[in-house]
Structure 1
Amino acid sequence: MPETEVSRSSVVSFNRRAVFSLSGTHFLNDLVTSGMVPALVVMYKHALHLNYTQSTLVVLVSYLTSSVMQPIFGTLTDKKPRVWLLGAGVFLAVLGLALTGFVHSLPWLLICIAISGLGSGAFHPEASRGTHLAAGSRRGMAQSIFQVGGNAGQAFGPLMIPLFLASTGLKGLLWFIPVAILALGLGAQITPWLNRRVAESAGRRRQITGENNIPGVIVLVIIIILRSWCQVGVVVFLPFYFHNLSIQTSELFNFVFMGAGALGTFIGGVVSDRIGQKRLMMLSMLIATPFALLFPHTHGVVAVLVLLFFGFSVLSSFAVTVVLMQMLLPKNIALASGLSIGFGVGAGGIGATFLGGISDLFGVPTVFAILSFLPLIGAVLSAFLPRAQK
């Protein structure tokens, strides 16, 4: 990263209010999109009498419109920032899911899911840009707080099914309409500050002398995809692996994995400010490897403990990859966020579909055997990442 940019960015102090507001909106966004949509597939299937192919369309549309579209939104907003997408995006993300409580046919369900996904895709690049501008010199901590909001939303999303929607049915989703209004207000209250910061950074951005490091971006994207396959694979196939447990218990196991990952995201971001992003990336993948290899051979309480440490370690690099991508793409901050957050998650969904075919052929244990080697491959690739300049 160019010295001139670091020295200028360090003049701006850490804006605690903006970072925590952005983290709160991230929580509400990912609660419904990444957390609840996959968990709601079973309820949609029974309520609308769908077959398995139709049911998987819900997840596919959600991933395509939210995750895969994020780099596109990032490219557009890098050319011309659209700060209003911060509040409007999270509003549409929550509202789209709430409206599925009304629908009675598959086409309308997919339209509402697409609205929710597009809102999420529009929200992430501007929200991550806002976090970048609010960070000052503490980029790792700022991104970790922002990403913890999203990871916590993903963790709590599946819990909404047994705790709330199991008794209300899909009609209970209508209660998320006030949540959508709350999300809009949370985003709108920092929009004036963000408008000022974007205007201030516009002139500074023209003076950036650093070039985008495309080879480094490619390596980092591959690492993010491997980590995402590991994360999504565990969440999707865990209920099938512990087939003797109830759905509620399986969702609690997922909560342990994602909750530990949220804690790891925060601690990893803070530690990376001290030891460096590349070193933290390598350590997180190396530490995750023995737990990944051990998990398929454990049961009971030991399996829960291994799952906890596995989630903590493998997801401790979540915020770090965003900061690294922004360093590798100094001229395209929003695109960096779209690639590191959106594209990676979308690729994880595609990987889960691929792993589903493997499970049909060879069984679920084979899937977990494959997942156990992904962190090790990621650790090896991390050695080829360029070291960030000071």
Structure 2
Amino acid sequence: MSQLTAAASPISKGQGTTSFKILLIIGLCHLLNDSLQAVVPAMFPVLGKSMRLSYTQLGFIAFSLNMVSSIMQPVVGMYTDKKPKPYALPIGLTFTLFGILGLALAPRFEIIVISVLLIGLGSAVFHPEGSRVAYMAAGPRRGLAQSIYQVGGNSGQALAPLITAVVLVPLGQIGAAWFTLVAAVAVGLLIYIANWYSFKLKFEKTISSKKKPSSSIDGRKSRRSVWFALTLILFLIFARSWYIASMTNFYAFYAIHKYSISIKMSQLFLFAFLIAGAAGTFLGGPLSDRYGKKTIILLSMIAAAPLSILIPHVPPVAAFILLTISGFILMSSFSVTVVYAQELVPGKIGTMSGLTVGLAFGMGALGSIGIGYLADIIGLTKTIILMGYLPLLGILTIFLPSDKSLAESN
């Protein structure tokens, strides 16, 4: 049996089969991709010292990476929804490979920006297509599948402090070249995924040609209701992203000021929030498969709200505990909102992934600017307190269509 046949064998057992092998590989690739993307901010202390870059220049580098990655994701998703491109995955990671190499060897600021743009482009191609692979391999367990895929990305992002401490600080800018090996491994794995993806497309095309055409989406629910639900789910994602941005970017400063703790200790607070969020991301998917996506989205924000409101007002030990619990609860809906949007608009898997993940990431970046500006005006303490009320907006989830309504549209 060839490697391709082996990879595709679960398909032959029926479309309802969950391909855990493919899910684990694409989850690992997501980890590798996002760890490569994390190399960029991890290099800021090194680049700032070795190339004497200003804070404005470092900010422009971060802006270039985030905007290209986030804005291009929906664009790539829309294109591949119409014309699926299995081999876009390894090609995208090849862009990232060259970007990482350029970052390691760049002699001046302009080359760094070009290198970062390549990394952002590779990430923009990977995310919607990777989410599509997870959807195709999910079978009936779409929540679990998306959780496996998304937790890989969250884990990769969390590696940034480790990358800085272990590789970049002792080796300097050239140390980034070691990550071309990581990119090469990801490209190899994605070639395997692309073969499975290509075979799966041919199989589904054969199956769909034997089925009777289904009625249009307008026959089942009005276009207006779909747009309303999509706008609402994106608004909820933005609210969650803004709160997370306030915590990841500014809470450490707040903790240092309020509790008189060291920078290192403040990072432990942030690490607890992020690592608990990764665990929540993983468990949220299977919980939504059992209890429903709308229920998990509602509970994840409403249950987190009392904790997020309390965090700025409690002693450091209690704050640490509440941060951990709130991170877990709030991020339990991360992968669920992706699946919800994909099922809300059937046939637009890449577009919905690009909107819910890419656009939300970009809104988080823009939110950071707005939150920072607000902190400059009213003070950091009042800003952190105010941001704690954002999860209350989760009550708007009650206006979303039910899971039963979503199932009828698929």
Give the TM-score taking structure 1 as reference length: 0.92
Change in 2 beyond 3 A, CA 1:164/1:124: same
Do the aligned partners of 2:101 and 2:180 also contact (CA within 8 Å) in 1?
A: yes
**Superposition pairs of residues 1-390 of structure 1, within 5 angstroms:** 11-33=15-37, 35-202=38-205, 204=208, 207-209=213-215, 211=217, 213-243=226-256, 244-377=260-393, 379-388=394-403, 389=405, 390=407
2:338–2:357 CA contact under 8 A, matched in 1: yes
2:66–2:365 Cα contact (<8 Å) kept = yes
Deviations 1:203-246 (A, max 9, x none): 63994545262211111111111111111221111332233544
Instruction: Report SS of the residue matched to 2:85.
Output: coil
Q: Structure 1 unaligned segments of length 5 or more: list them.
A: 1-8
User: What do the CA deviations read for 1:156-179 (whole angstroms, capped 9, x no partner)?
Assistant: 223321233222222211110111
How many angstroms does 1:107 deviate by? 0.9
SS across alignment from 2:399: coil
Structure with max Cα Rg: 2
Report Cα offsets for 1:314-359 as digits up to 9, x if no partner.
Answer: 1110010110010111021110110111011111100001111112
Farther-moved stretch of structure 1 (42-51 vs 241-250): 241-250
| Letter aligned with residue 240 of structure 2 | R
Change (3 A) 1:175 1:386: same
Are 1:239 and 1:250, in contact at CA under 8 Å, matched by a contact in 2? yes
Q: CA deviation at 1:198?
A: 2.0
Aligned to 1:3: none
In structure 1, how many angstroms separate the alpha carbons of the residues matched to 2:14 and 2:253? Answer: 48
1:316–1:129 distance in 2 versus 1, CA, 3 Å: same
Cα pair distance change 1:163/1:301, threshold 3 Å: farther
**RMSD of equivalent CA atoms:** 2.0
Go from structure 1 to structure 2 and tell me whether the alpha carbon gap of 1:300 and 1:97 turns closer, same or farther (over 3 Å shift).
Answer: farther
Tell me: CA distance 1:37–1:166, structure 2 relative to 1, closer, same or farther (3 Å): same
Structure 1's 89 and 176: CA in aligned 2 closer, same or farther, altered over 3 A?
Answer: same
Deviations 1:62-110 (A, max 9, x none): 1111011100000111110111111222343354234312112111111
Residue of structure 2 in register with 1:4 after alignment: none
One-letter code aligned to 2:23: V
What is aligned with 2:4? Answer: none
Q: What CA distance in whole angstroms lies between the structure 1 residues aligned with 2:114 and 2:275?
A: 31
Q: Distance in 1 between matches of 2:202 and 2:15?
A: 16
Decide whether the 8 Å contact of 2:36 with 2:183 is kept in 1.
no
CA contact (8 A) 2:46 2:168 kept: no
% identity of equivalent residues: 36
Asked if structure 2 preserves the Cα contact closer than 8 Å seen for 1:63 and 1:117, the reply is yes
Query: What is the rounded CA distance, in whole Å, between the counterparts of 2:152 and 2:313 in structure 1?
Result: 32
Count of matched residue pairs: 380
Question: How far, CA to CA, are the matches of 1:380 and 1:40 in structure 2?
Answer: 40
SS in 2 for 1:64: helix
d(CA) in 2 for partners of 1:170 and 1:242? 31
**Which whole-Å CA distance do the structure 1 matches of 2:170 and 2:316 have between them?**
29
2:178 corresponds to which letter in structure 1? W
| Structure 2: gaps spanning 5 or more residues | 1-12, 218-222
Letter in 1 for 2:278: A
**CA distance in 2: counterparts of 1:335 and 1:287, whole angstroms:** 29
Amino acid at match of 1:218: T
Q: Once the 2 structures are TM-superposed, how far is the Cα of residue 123 of structure 1 from its aligned partner?
A: 0.5
Distance 1:296 1:37, change over 3 A: farther
Name the CA distance, whole Å, in 1 between partners of 2:178 and 2:71: 28
Sort the Cα spacing of 1:37 and 1:112 in 2 relative to 1 into closer, same or farther, 3 A. Answer: same
Please state how far the C-alpha of 1:299 moved relative to its aligned partner: 3.9
- Paired with 1:54 and 1:245, the residues of 2 have a C-alpha distance of 29
The 2-side partners of 1:245 and 1:164 are apart by: 27
8 Å contact from structure 1 (residues 92, 180) kept in 2: no
1:311 CA drift (Å): 0.8
Instruction: Name the CA distance, whole Å, in 1 between partners of 2:120 and 2:144.
Output: 27
When residues 367 and 93 of structure 1 are mapped into structure 2, their CA distance, relative to the original with a 3 A threshold, is farther
Q: Contact (CA 8 Å) 1:208, 1:331: kept in 2 or not?
A: no
- Is the partner of 1:370 in helix, strand or coil? helix
Deviations 1:1-36 (A, max 9, x none): xxxxxxxx9843000110011100111111232x34
Is the partner of 2:296 in helix, strand or coil?
helix
Of 138-147 and 365-374, the range deviating more from structure 2: 365-374
* Cα contact 1:227–1:375 (8 A) shared by 2: yes
Larger deviation, residues 110-119 vs 184-193: 184-193
